[in-house]
Structure 1
Amino acid sequence: MGARYRTEAINGVDGRSRVPGGLDVAVASPLKADADPTATNPEQLLALAWATCLNGTAQVLVGEQRRTAVRVEVELHPVIPGPGYEFHVDGYLSAEGLSEAETEDLLARAHARCPVSKLIGAAATVHTHTEAYAG
């Protein structure tokens, strides 16, 4: 079976990342002292990608009868021993009207099915959690 969807992103020397015909954002490293404080960084983009994908997957699994929400935290840590850095990522799922056990089951099923989870989920620095629904 062929691809169901395809896109691309381009990042150049102009401090912008763009999706042709779509999203166009200023980007900067959070480690750069003189970075534009309004610019987006890779950590934020990763958080948005996983939160959007994991929540969309959870919504497919519960259907229209329940609301779900996903919150993702991304931290940048130096690799020890170096060189370089690594992401530490925590995803939190909440679901309206589900018990903690039911939410944990939903999270496990959504995490197993979400394409971004499949991409990052095997990393030792990626963790999932449930939390109370705040709607």
Structure 2
Amino acid sequence: MALKYRTEATNSGGGDATSRVIDGMEVSVSSPLGSNPDPDATNPEQLLALSWATCLNSTAQALLKRRRRTAVRVEVELHSVESGVGYEFEVDAYLSLEGGSPEETAELLAAADARCPVSKLLAGAATARVHTEEYAAA
């Protein structure tokens, strides 16, 4: 495989600190479970939602050669693990296609989900799902 892009991020303070992309952006992070979460900071749930929404929609647009509009929204929920300790994400991605029939939208979603790198990373996760929905501009 030929390398196309590489990045690196660091976090040394945990859930209430700063995360940095090497030679790039810096973001404040704040745990949504903390006693006083910072509303101006982000968290892993939001970053996962942004990552998958961007990747899945960019992939759908590449497949369509940008001839039609699409939208993707991603919901991320944090749940306690029922058997064991810790937490797990429940993640649902919704793709819509302007003027698309349910069948056409489902076909696009299947193709985009199979090709999107974030979808590939989440493939096989019982708590990550994709859905279609009626188009609504963001």
What TM bracket, shorter-length normalisation? over 0.9
- In 1: Cα distance, 2:64 partner to 2:33 partner: 39
Q: Which amino acid aligns with 1:129?
A: H
- Structural RMSD (CA): 1.1
Partner of 1:8: 8
- In 2: Cα distance, 1:91 partner to 1:109 partner: 14
Measured after TM superposition, the shift of residue 22 of structure 1 is 2.0
Runs of 5+ consecutive residues of structure 1 not aligned to the other structure: none
Report percent identity of matched pairs.
64
Give 3-state SS (helix, strand or coil) of 1:49's partner: helix
Partner of 1:48: 50
Q: How many residues align?
A: 135
- In 2: Cα distance, 1:23 partner to 1:131 partner: 33
Residues 43-89 of structure 1, C-alpha deviations (whole Å, 9 max, x = no match):
00000000000000000001121011100000000111121100000
- In 2: Cα distance, 1:23 partner to 1:57 partner: 24
- In 2: Cα distance, 1:23 partner to 1:49 partner: 15
Residues 15-46 of structure 1, C-alpha deviations (whole Å, 9 max, x = no match):
10111222211001111112212210000000
Q: Which runs of 4+ in 1 moved over 6 A?
A: none
Q: TM-score, normalised by structure 1?
A: 0.95
- In 1: Cα distance, 2:54 partner to 2:97 partner: 15
Answer yes or no: is 1:110 the counterpart of 2:112.
Answer: yes
- In 1: Cα distance, 2:21 partner to 2:29 partner: 13
Measured after TM superposition, the shift of residue 133 of structure 1 is 0.9
Measured after TM superposition, the shift of residue 108 of structure 1 is 0.5
- In 2: Cα distance, 1:51 partner to 1:5 partner: 19
- In 2: Cα distance, 1:132 partner to 1:105 partner: 14
Answer yes or no: is 1:31 the counterpart of 2:33.
Answer: yes
